[in-house]
Amino acid sequence: MQFSSFDADYVRNLCAGDRRTQEHFVGYFTELLQLKLRSRLQSPHAIEDVRQETFARVLSVLRKDGGLRQPERLGAFVNTVCTHVLFEHYRSKTGGESLDVEGRPELPDKSASALDIVAARQIKDKVREILLGLAPRDSSLLKAVFLDERDRDEVCREFGVDRDYLRVLLHRAKQEFKTEYEKRVGNQMAMGANA
Amino acid sequence: MDHSEAVQQMAAERYLLDELTPDAREAFEEHFFDCRECALDLRTGAAFVEEAKAQLPGLAGARPAPVPSRSLKIKREWWLSWLQPAFAAPAFAMLLLVVGYQNMITLPALRDSANQPRLLPWAPLHGATRGAPLAIAADRRHGVALPVDLPPQPSTGTYASYSFDLYDPQGKLAWTGAAAAAADDAGDAQRLSLVIPGAMLRNGAYTVAVTGIAAHGERTGIDRYVFNLHLTD
């Protein structure tokens, strides 16, 4: 079964502990949760805590009878749970207190495989190729924004460009990278047969 | 936020650039958690940015220097060579000299010749039939003024106008002009003055042919004046 969208079968397999479904679930939502959380939490430990708590609560709800009435909205449900966990994290007095509770179902940790290492190498090469293909001004612009983390408006003024230029620059680089990325990593997000 | 809005607004790029308002950010998050395409788009962008951050610092030394194509290089060199100080400075100096000469010498002289009275050597012409060609001395600065005596008309109104043709020492027609016939009674000679500017003058024999033109267009040769011009400068 190739993953195309979340549905009742997917949720059923996830709740049943099917390893491949669980690996897919973790792999698919980990990155999205990290993107959501990194702009809100400074500590990598806090990000990891919130991520794991989110997965745990989602599975808990899914395993209840009538837990998720709309399986196709699994993604939105994960986002909502993450938002609640995040608010609890903000409200907690220490902020760094682990939310881990014993007895919760553990999800498989996705370790890097040999294929992952090869894919990472190929992705690195592709990014390098794209960066070398940029005009020096454009690569300096990206460096100032993403590496030096300078104020966007100040950088745009300095380089004589507007925000649209910056957006389009990123868009084009992303589009050029997308084919390679999808080839190397996108398949990992698709479930194989007999899932 | 639906998918078309996310694409139209370049939401993934704005998200990565941290340009979304808090509400827009939450709306996009709610969308991409449910939308496989936007999720992939965002993950792609994030992966690119993360890897780019790692590689950008070391990239400056690795970037190959752009090598323009040979023809472009030659074209650039050709253009650039004229802008080098070794060429540009003498070229500008020459330009200044030319402009200065024109403004200080040529143009004032032209203005004077157009606006001021002038004294010109005067040499009355005789008809070729009257003897040897007339010797006339002149210089290029002043030119020469040649009075031409037109014979009286056979009868009043014979000629409506006269045509004057000037031939240079090579026999080429150097100039042609016309003058209306005097409205006086026949019997009076008409005198005109042919002024030849110095720039036109060459050493040698010039010919001035005078033709009478009747009102109906009939042309009649009247006289030919031949003179040997000798330039004194």
**Among A34, A143, A179, the residue to mutate for chain B (most B Cβ within 10 A):** A143
* B164, B194 Cβ separation under 8 angstroms: yes
DSSP B82-137: HHSHHHHHHHHHHHHHHHHHIIIIIHHHHHHHHHS-----B----BGGGSSPEEEE
Residue type, B232: T
Q: What residues does B226 pair with on adjacent strands?
A: B207
Q: Considering the entire predicted model, what is its pTM?
A: 0.55
Q: Mind telling me how many Å the CA of A102 is from chain B's nearest CA? A: 28
User: Which of B26, B42, B59 lies nearest to residue A35, judging by beta carbons?
Assistant: B42
Q: Mind telling me how many Å the CA of A103 is from chain B's nearest CA? A: 27
Domain extents in chain A: 8-91, 114-189
- What is the per-residue pLDDT across A105-150, written as a single tens digit (0 to 9) for each? 555 555 556 666 777 888 899 999 999 999 999 999 999 999 999 9
| pLDDT averaged over every residue in chain B | 81
- What is the per-residue pLDDT across A35-86, written as a single tens digit (0 to 9) for each? 999 988 888 999 999 999 999 999 999 988 777 888 889 999 999 999 999 9
* A25, A14 Cβ separation under 8 angstroms: yes
Q: Is A170 on the interface with B (CB under 8 A)?
A: yes
Q: What residues does B147 pair with on adjacent strands?
A: B193
- Fold of the CATH domain A114-189: Arc Repressor Mutant, subunit A (1.10.10)
Q: What average pLDDT does the segment B53-71 reach?
A: 65
A160 pLDDT band (50/70/90 cuts)?
A: very high
Express as a percent the part of chain B with pLDDT over 90: 21
Q: Do B59 and A128 touch (CB under 8 A)?
A: yes
Q: What average pLDDT does the segment B19-27 reach?
A: 93
Task: Reply yes or no on whether the pLDDT at B55 is more than 60.
Answer: yes
- What is the per-residue pLDDT across B154-195, written as a single tens digit (0 to 9) for each? 777 788 888 898 988 888 888 989 888 876 555 567 788 888
Q: Give the model's pLDDT for residue B141.
A: 83
Q: Do B18 and A131 touch (CB under 8 A)?
A: no
Q: Give the model's pLDDT for residue A3.
A: 55
Asked if CATH classification 2.130.10.10 holds for the domain at B128-231, the reply, yes or no, is no
Q: Give the model's pLDDT for residue B145.
A: 87
- Residue that has been written with the tokens 């330009």 in this structure: B95
Q: Give the model's pLDDT for residue B150.
A: 83
